[in-house]
Each structure stands twice: as structure tokens, then as C-alpha cells.
Chains A and B, each alone.
Chain A
Amino acid sequence: MQLSMEELDGGITKVILDGRLDIAGAQEIDLKLNVIAGTKKAVLVDMQKVTFLGSMGLRTLVAPAQAIKGRGGKVVLFGPNEMVENVLRSSKMHTLIPIHHELQSALAALR
């Protein structure tokens, strides 16, 4: 699992995930996401290249989102594929971390 970052206008940080968010993938990005969660306030998690999401991957997404929201920030998920989105919806995570498929609406939700 690869993680890269891009700073966008308006103080928004785009976090691009690429690969499988399984147990191994979750371990690979846990620390990086926690650092982001401790410093950023508006985070767009680009899920377009995430090919798998399991329960450990969910945990890896939820903990930083909790931290960011706890500091008054916002997190949105952008562009998960159908099956990854099914995992997010089955676990009700979409009610807590909004999912967007249009970049403009994802950015607007963070402003």
C-alpha cells in the first residue's frame, strides 16, 4: 500500500492511497496517517486506487478521522470503487466519513 500527499488550495490535504488496504497495507500506512491526523485539518482521502478494504483497513481510516474531527477538522473519502464502497457502507462508516465521487463536491465538503 502506497501513500502520497498533495497540498491543495484552501488548506486541503489530499492523501492518495494506492493498493490493498488489508492487514499488511494497514500496517504500512498507519504511522503516516497518524502523523497527518495530528497536523492537518481538512483531508481528502483519495481512494480511487484502493483495490481492497478489510476490517483492519477500516480501523486505519477511522482512527485518524476521529483525531481530525476531534480537533475540529474534516475528512472525506473520494472515489472508492464499488466493492470498497460496499465495505464502507456495510460497516456504516459512510455515515461518519462522507463518500464523494465528484472531486468538486469532495472539496466543497471540506471548505
Chain B
Amino acid sequence: MSDQNANSGCEPLTLESELSEIARIPPWIERLAALNAVPERTRFAMDLCLEEAVSNVIRHGYAGEPNHALTVRCEMHRDGFITLVVEDDALPFNPLLVREPPVPASLSDVSVGGQGIHLMKQFADAVEYERKPAGNRLILRFFYPGTSPGLPTVPPS
């Protein structure tokens, strides 16, 4: 990565492939947000997208099997955006290829499946997918105004 990037102050989060592990995401995001003065709306969006991305990997990528791992890491960028990277060792799965759920005409038409990916695309400013040699990498980008005061500044010339 370029020198535009800086450490978020948060260690990468390694999760087991169990849904109960998702409870570890909100405190990690809270800490990340507090350390880097992330606005509330962006914090909410990161929280939402990570819950959806991670539950997707656990339920679909690993098909609910325990004893697999996935990691989440964060990069702060000096030009005011945050990147969350979710990596797993699961079978290839590109969530960006999942069809959008149809707009429901009535409650009985509501398909809740697919909403997670839809919400992720709506709440992240950009979502990218990369196939790893063995596994998947999902990159979620969030833009917010201003540069975090927690980031290093360019020394005066």
C-alpha cells in the first residue's frame, strides 16, 4: 500500500467461524472509531457492513462449519477514508455477483435473504472483491469528511 495509509491503532481481528464470534465486532469498531475520531454515521455503516460480511462468510463461505478462521483489518487513509478488509480461506464466493433482492410489493413477498449483501453495498461507499489463491478478500471502503486527528500529519516544509 502507499504512504497515504496509516495504522488505525487497532490490531487485526481474528474470528472463528461461529456466529457467536460476531459479538466481538462492535467493541472492535467502537475502539477503532474512538481512536480515529470516526463520525457516528460512518461507525454505524462499518458495524453494519462487517456484521453482514462476516456472517456471510461463516454461514455461506464456511457453510456453518466450525474451526475455520477469518480476519478483519483496518487501514486509515490520510485523504479521509477507511478501508476494512475481510479475508477468509473459504471456497470462492463473490458477494457482488449475488442478485439484488426484488422490491417487495407486500409483506408476504419480502425476501430477507440477500438483504445483507444489499445493505453492505448500500452502506459502504465502495465494495471490492478479490479472489485469493486460497480464499476470498472483501474490501469495504468508507469515506468521511476531514482527516482523522489520530493520523500522522505531513511535517511542514
A residues lining the B interface (CB < 8 Å) = 20, 22-24, 52-56, 58-59, 62, 65-66, 69-70, 82-83, 86-87, 90-93, 95-97
Cβ contacts B17-41/A at 8 Å (1 or 0 each): 0011011001000000000000011
Partner among B44, B106, B107 whose Cβ is within 8 Å of the Cβ of A83:
B44
Given the contacts A92-B104, A96-B107, A62 and B112 also touching, CB distance less than 8 Å: yes
Residues of B within 8 A of A69 (CB): 107
Q: How far is the CA of A20 from the CA of B23 in the complex (A)?
A: 11
A69 to B108, CA, bound (A): 9
Docked CA distance A94–B151 (Å) = 39
Q: Contact between A90 and B103 (Cβ–Cβ < 8 Å)?
A: no
Give CA–CA (A82, B39) in the complex, Å: 14
Instruction: Write the nearest CB–CB distance from B5 to chain A, whole angstroms.
Output: 27
C-alpha gap A53/B45 in the complex (Å):
11
Is B122 a contact partner of A20 (Cβ separation < 8 A)?
no
Closest 10 CB pairs of A and B: A55-B116, A59-B112, A55-B115, A83-B44, A90-B122, A66-B107, A96-B107, A54-B51, A62-B110, A91-B115
